[in-house]
Amino acid sequence: MFERFTDEARQTVKLAMENARRLRHDRIGTEHLLLGLLEQPGTVSARLLNGHGLDHGRASAAIVQAVGAPPAGDLDADALESIGIDLSAVREKIEAAFGPGALDRSPSRDHRGILVSGRSIPFGPRAKKVLELSLREALALKSRDIRDGHILLGLIREGEGLGARILADTGVDLAALGTEVRAEIGGPPRQRP
């Protein structure tokens, strides 16, 4: 399915994974897809969401309020510093050797128990549903590709995940937003049964 995604839609998924990792969540949820959409200011989705008063910072704060803040790592840094280890210098050297963010990834093992780099975060069931619905929205609008707007339509249509809840709790009219997205990306308004 990802081969039909435009660059912006692929970037949404990539940013969703990065946001899940940053928040230290063990799966990608609808809330992370929402953050991925908001993190791309030049896209239809971000522009429309911003027009409804929702930006990345406000959505992130709503997620932290709903599920809690990521655990703090300052105690470990303080302990290392107290025995003369400069954690900043260690991080700098490790990232120079293994790439930016190397320490932010949890180690993982393959099926034989061997350590592998670059842990992938799985999609939660609601996020999978959003991506499936984005394909359905693209097909319904007779689009040959899946755009960021289709992902937003999938998020709206799924309607039960934390992403949709954040939209509703921040006062976004989901029906109006869906109509605006369809007008922007082309296609007639979807008829509800």
pLDDT in tens, 76-97: 555 556 666 676 777 777 777 7
Domain range for 109 is 74-116
| Higher-pLDDT residue of 29, 112 | 29
Alpha-carbon distances of 60 from 56, 82, 124, 148, 165, rounded to whole Å: 6, 33, 18, 19, 13
Task: Tell whether 108 and 168 lie within a shared domain.
Answer: no
Q: Report whether 161 contacts 29 (CB < 8 A).
A: yes
Whether 39 maps to a domain, the answer reads: yes
**Residues 111, 30 share a domain:** no
Min mean pLDDT across 47-51, 115-119, 179-183 is at: 115-119
Q: Provide the pLDDT for residue 193.
A: 43
Report the domain count for the chain. Answer: 2
Contact residues for 95 (Cβ-Cβ < 8 A; gap 6+): 101, 102, 103
- Residues 64 and 145 both lie in one domain: yes
- Is there a single domain that holds both residue 59 and residue 131? yes
Query: Rounded to 5 degrees, what angle do the CA atoms 108, 21, 160 make?
Result: 115
What's the pLDDT score for residue 153?
A: 92
111 and 147 part of one domain: no
Half-sphere exposure of 38 (CA within 13 A, CB side): 23
Is residue 126 scored above 80 in pLDDT? yes
In angstroms, rounded to a whole number, what is the distance separating the alpha carbons of residues 73 and 163?
27
pLDDT, residue 59, reads 84
pLDDT of residue 66: 77
Is residue 19 within 8 Å of 27, Cβ to Cβ?
A: no
| Closest to 166 measured CA to CA, from 81, 91, 74, 57 | 57
Q: Are residues 127 and 60 in the same domain?
A: yes
Among 9-23, 56-70, 126-140, 147-161, the range scoring the smallest mean pLDDT is 56-70
Rg (C-alpha) for the chain, rounded Å, is 19
The verdict on 138 and 157 lying in the same domain is: yes
Give the pLDDT of residue 187: 53
Same domain (yes/no): 177, 146: yes
Same domain as 144, residue 51: yes
Are residue 128 and residue 111 in the same domain, yes or no? no
Measured distance CA(144)–CA(135) in Å, rounded = 10
pTM of the model: 0.71
Is residue 115 scored above 50 in pLDDT?
no
Report the pLDDT averaged over residues 134-150: 88
pLDDT at 55: 85
- Residues 34, 83, single domain; the answer is no
